[in-house]
Amino acid sequence: MDEAYLGQFVRQTKLINEVILGGLLPAGGGGMLSWKELPHFGQTWLRNVLSVGAVYFVTCGLWCFYIYYLKRHVYFPSGSIPKRSTMLKQIWLSVKSTPLYSLLPTVTEYMVEKGWTKCFANIEEVGWPIYIFYTLVYVILVEFGTYWAHRELHDIKPLYKYVHAAHHKYNKEDDLSPFAGLALNPIDGIIQASPLVIALFLVPMHFLTYLVLAFVEGVWTINIHDCIHGKVWPVMGGGYHKIHHTTYRHNYGGYTIFMDWLFGTLCTPELEPHEKKSS
């Protein structure tokens, strides 16, 4: 790729940085260091850290308020919900880890800007049918990679003990919450998100679509820790992921149940007693 073409990626990331950082941070002055004085890589890292934090607190806060207070009698009729102290521990681990695992998307954007991946800047370059095809292939590769990355975090004992176990100490309905979604050792977060990056080297992918999917993955990771079985086939929702946190041997997949079905680790949630009565 020539410099003029690669400049499109840089302009896109600069625009995103300006919109997000300009909206979240003061302009500086009066002896205060402005984010505009940071190098481009630093701006991108800071934007990723703040974006992850904003998505985490806004999504978790609103969803917890909805399911634990407004609809508690619907989703948790037994009254078994996480304690505030447990959620605060999950928040603290998430806050500590975010600056480190935000380096992965930052380095990824740097590689895209350097032309090392197969990313393209505009959908018009390939046309809508090919764009849709590439995106589907990319998502399938990410699903495959996410499944095996997660499974190996369990199967390789040192990885589980020193990396993944911090997340799995939350293993019951009364201590799993949306705030647990990003309560990870930073190495854990990097390993589980790496399929999003590796796939960029294997299949052409629209850069802005990759950024949207990375955002969706963050929201999804939060959502599947709410313990609520949405019963929307073939979605790998909170009911499936609650089983994963209790058995440790099932439901490793990402957005769908297909990889667990394919590799024999799928376990389907049973209806709760109050759901059986109403069905």
Q: What is the pTM of this model?
A: 0.92
- Asked if 17 and 44 touch (Cβ cutoff 8 Å), the reply is yes
Residues 154-198 have pLDDT tens digits of: 999 999 999 999 999 998 888 999 999 999 999 999 999 999 999
Q: How far apart are CA 160 and CA 27, in angstroms?
A: 43
Which residue from 227, 224, 245 is spatially nearest to 76, judged by alpha carbons? 227
Q: Judge whether residue 275 has pLDDT over 50.
A: no
pLDDT given for residue 279 in this prediction:
39
Q: Judge whether residue 230 has pLDDT over 90.
A: no
User: Band of the pLDDT at 278, cuts 50, 70, 90?
Assistant: very low
Reported residue count of the chain is 279
pLDDT given for residue 28 in this prediction:
57
Residues 71-111 have pLDDT tens digits of: 999 999 887 899 999 999 999 999 999 999 999 999 999 99
Cis peptide before 204 (omega within 30 of 0): no
Residues 47-73 have pLDDT tens digits of: 999 999 999 999 999 999 999 999 999
- Asked if 230 and 177 touch (Cβ cutoff 8 Å), the reply is no
> How high does pLDDT run on average in the chain?
92
- Asked if 112 and 9 touch (Cβ cutoff 8 Å), the reply is yes
Residue with tokens 């625009």: 15
Q: Judge whether residue 236 has pLDDT over 60.
A: yes
- Asked if 165 and 263 touch (Cβ cutoff 8 Å), the reply is no
Q: Judge whether residue 24 has pLDDT over 90.
A: no
Mean pLDDT computed over 221-231 = 92
